[in-house]
Amino acid sequence: MHLVTSYLASLLFVSGHLGQTALSHSIPRREPNACQRLAQVYGNKTSLLGSSQLALVSQENWSEAAQLTPNCTFEPTTADDVSGALRILVSTKTKFAVRSGGHMPNPGSSNINGGVLISLTNLKTLKLNSDHSIVSVGAGYRWGDVYQWLSGYGLVAAGGRYEPVGVPGFLLGGGITFFGSRHGWGANNIANMEVVLANGTIVNANATRHSDLFWALKGGSSNYGIVTRLDLKTLADSPMYGGTTAFQPDRISDFVDAIASYSTVGGGSDDPNASYNPSMQVIPATGQVRLFSFCGYRGNDPSPAAFAKFSQIPVRFTNNSVRSNLWGLVGDTMAEDYHARTHRQLFWGTALKATPASVYLINQTFFETFNAMAPRLQNATGLSLTTTPQLISRAWINAAKASGGDPMDIDADGGIIAHLITSRWEDAADDAVVYEFNRRCTEALDRKAKAKGLYYPFIYLNNAGPGQDPLKLYGQGKSLPKMQAVRDLYDPTGVFQELMPGGFKVGYGREGKGKGKGKRH
């Protein structure tokens, strides 16, 4: 606080006292920069370089590789604050980043060196409408907070599977929930969003008002504005079976068979109450393989038929059980990993048609790529590489369409596998080899899948790595021009394309600024 005061004092000195002396003829009077202006107008909501608050805020990122050093941080408490700050940033042509939960691991996606970091943590609306059908959630919330609060009313929402993930980043990228096979993407359950547009205007986007913007935001991430509040449809709370399981590593073939079986229509993933997330992990330093899962099943069935093939595999550890509700499951099954912010982390995505052949191809390609690079990967300190075939089932796709649709617009009869590679490691010196593994594994997978007719053109934005271009593939290429047209309408000068360099960009269409489309993260 005293830093802000002294900064303001020096500012007054420059613009007031100095400005009136003879020196003003030799020293051109400089306009205050955006950080100074924000500090003038918003006091301690702005933290300047060197302050402990800035250090604290700028480090609040899940991946260590994404912790950068902005010139100042701005922590609005209202949508009006966001609007006013955005006007200052635009008028001073200042680069900025926007962050909610900070869980997107791509460096620069929600933090910035040198510019202004807008951290939305203090946007803390949390309220139900009169009939409890809609919960209004401020952009500062993480899923755990929302679930815990809603559980007091016997309600849940279609949100993240892990407690610390931010509500807006997750929903604006789509949102893989435990309830997908009944309710589609998390974004398909949004009733309304409050958005601060590029010119500072605050609007509601919903099915009847600014419906084009509403559509584009359900997967369009940070291209259209700063979302300050999300009104979500609530669902009735119910018991949830689920938990974490580690299988015997020598049973990898049984495990892969179980995933293959689960991936087919009728094999479990299409059950509207089921969500099973299997992962295979390799620790390059030791060659050790780990097989594990995190699952959820709505209801109080202690042995869901949808998971039967997995349940037959001998385990090393499991705490699957019927919990009182979603909060009981998500709040309980919280591995340290998902909270820790002291490791380097990376996601990389692609997609295949949901068939057993795709599952076998993933298993084969993941380990082949690892084996080919093993001598180099072995030296990377603390490295783990994980493959997770996430099932976006036929029922899920139908639920998404029935809700009014979204720009991802997946169209695959039997569903798809949104494949995720998660990497975690310690040293920046190993960034290059880890990135190379992700690229090579995904390229090989895409190439082989295309040859076998198993490829599906989709990258889940919330799992996309730096340089991947998820928006280009939405609707098999058909959504991007429409998304660009919506951007033309709501951000005609390209504020969120140019001044906000982080995140995935829709870019400009043929008629646009000619800056090239799909500028990547």
Ligand X SMILES: *[C@@H]1O[C@H](CO)[C@@H](O)[C@H](O)[C@H]1NC(C)=O
Ligand Y SMILES: Cc1cc2nc3c(=O)[nH]c(=O)nc-3n(C[C@H](O)[C@H](O)[C@H](O)COP(=O)(O)OP(=O)(O)OC[C@H]3O[C@@H](n4cnc5c(N)ncnc54)[C@H](O)[C@@H]3O)c2cc1C
Ramachandran angles phi, psi of 387, nearest 5°: -110, 130
Alpha helices in 59-142 (DSSP H): 79-91
Q: Under the criterion CB under 6 A, does residue 100 sit at the interface with ligand X? A: no
Residue 192's binding partner out of ligand Y, ligand X, none, with CB under 5 to 8 Å set by partner kind: ligand X
Figure out which of the listed residues 18, 41, 335, 374 binds ligand X, where binding follows CB under 6 A: 335
Residue 99's binding partner out of ligand Y, ligand X, none, with CB under 5 to 8 Å set by partner kind: ligand Y
Q: Under the criterion CB under 6 A, does residue 36 sit at the interface with ligand X? A: no
Q: Give the contacts of 39 (CB within 8 A, at least 6 positions apart).
A: 4, 7, 8, 11, 46, 48, 72
Residue 169's binding partner out of ligand Y, ligand X, none, with CB under 5 to 8 Å set by partner kind: ligand Y
Query: Closer to ligand Y at the Cβ: 120 or 352?
Result: 120
Figure out which of the listed residues 121, 222, 358, 363 binds ligand X, where binding follows CB under 6 A: 363
Shortest gap between Cβ of 306 and ligand X (angstroms)? Answer: 9
Residue 488's binding partner out of ligand Y, ligand X, none, with CB under 5 to 8 Å set by partner kind: none
- Which DSSP state fits 464? P
- The CA-atom distances, in angstroms, between 63 and each of 67, 107, 122, 325, 433 are 7, 8, 21, 29, 17
Shortest gap between Cβ of 256 and ligand X (angstroms)? Answer: 4
Asked if residue 81 lies in contact with residue 41, where contact means CB atoms within 8 angstroms, the answer is no
Figure out which of the listed residues 105, 107, 115, 144 binds ligand X, where binding follows CB under 6 A: 115
Figure out which of the listed residues 256, 354, 362, 385 binds ligand X, where binding follows CB under 6 A: 256
- The CA-atom distances, in angstroms, between 285 and each of 61, 291, 318 are 26, 17, 25
Positive or negative, the Cα torsion across 184, 189, 192, 197? negative
CA 356 to chain CA centroid, nearest Å? 28
Q: Under the criterion CB under 6 A, does residue 345 sit at the interface with ligand X? A: no
For ligand X (CB under 6 A), the number of binding residues is 52
Residue 208's binding partner out of ligand X, ligand Y, none, with CB under 5 to 8 Å set by partner kind: ligand X
Shortest gap between Cβ of 355 and ligand Y (angstroms)? Answer: 22
Query: Closer to ligand X at the Cβ: 74 or 347?
Result: 74
Q: Under the criterion CB under 6 A, does residue 53 sit at the interface with ligand X? A: yes
**Interstrand relation of 190-196 and 226-233 (parallel, antiparallel or unpaired):** antiparallel
Residue 197's binding partner out of ligand Y, ligand X, none, with CB under 5 to 8 Å set by partner kind: ligand X
Query: Closer to ligand X at the Cβ: 78 or 457?
Result: 78
Cα first-last separation, the chain: 34
Give exposure, 469-489, as e/b (b: 16+ Cβ within 10 Å): bbbbbbbeeebbebbbebbbe
Q: Under the criterion CB under 6 A, does residue 369 sit at the interface with ligand X? A: no
Asked if residue 97 lies in contact with residue 119, where contact means CB atoms within 8 angstroms, the answer is no
Q: Under the criterion CB under 6 A, does residue 206 sit at the interface with ligand X? A: yes
Residue 273's binding partner out of ligand X, ligand Y, none, with CB under 5 to 8 Å set by partner kind: ligand X
* Nearest-10 Cα torsion for 459, 462, 466, 469: 40
Residue 173's binding partner out of ligand Y, ligand X, none, with CB under 5 to 8 Å set by partner kind: ligand Y
Residue of 71, 67, 127 whose CA lies nearest to 99: 67
Positive or negative, the Cα torsion across 132, 137, 143, 148? negative
Figure out which of the listed residues 5, 10, 211, 319 binds ligand X, where binding follows CB under 6 A: 319
- Which DSSP state fits 406? -
- Judged by CB under 6 A, which stretch of 414-422, 445-453, 487-495, 508-516 contacts ligand X? 487-495
Asked if residue 436 lies in contact with residue 148, where contact means CB atoms within 8 angstroms, the answer is no
Q: Under the criterion CB under 6 A, does residue 303 sit at the interface with ligand X? A: no
Q: Under the criterion CB under 6 A, does residue 40 sit at the interface with ligand X? A: no
Asked if residue 374 lies in contact with residue 400, where contact means CB atoms within 8 angstroms, the answer is no
Positive or negative, the Cα torsion across 46, 51, 52, 54? positive
Q: How many CA atoms lie within 13 A of 387 on its CB side?
A: 29
Alpha carbon distance 41, 22 (integer Å): 28
Q: Under the criterion CB under 6 A, does residue 234 sit at the interface with ligand X? A: no
Q: Under the criterion CB under 6 A, does residue 211 sit at the interface with ligand X? A: no
- Judged by CB under 6 A, which stretch of 345-353, 360-368, 383-391, 436-444 contacts ligand X? 360-368
Binding site for ligand Y (CB under 6 A): 62, 98-104, 109-110, 120, 139, 160-162, 165-166, 168-170, 172-173, 175-176, 221-222, 226-227, 338, 462, 502-503
Residues that bind ligand X (CB under 6 A): 1, 33-35, 44, 53, 59-60, 64, 67, 71, 94-95, 114-115, 191-192, 197, 199, 201, 204, 206, 208-209, 231, 238, 243-244, 252-253, 256-257, 271, 273, 298-299, 319, 332-335, 341-342, 360, 363, 367, 375-376, 379, 489-490, 492
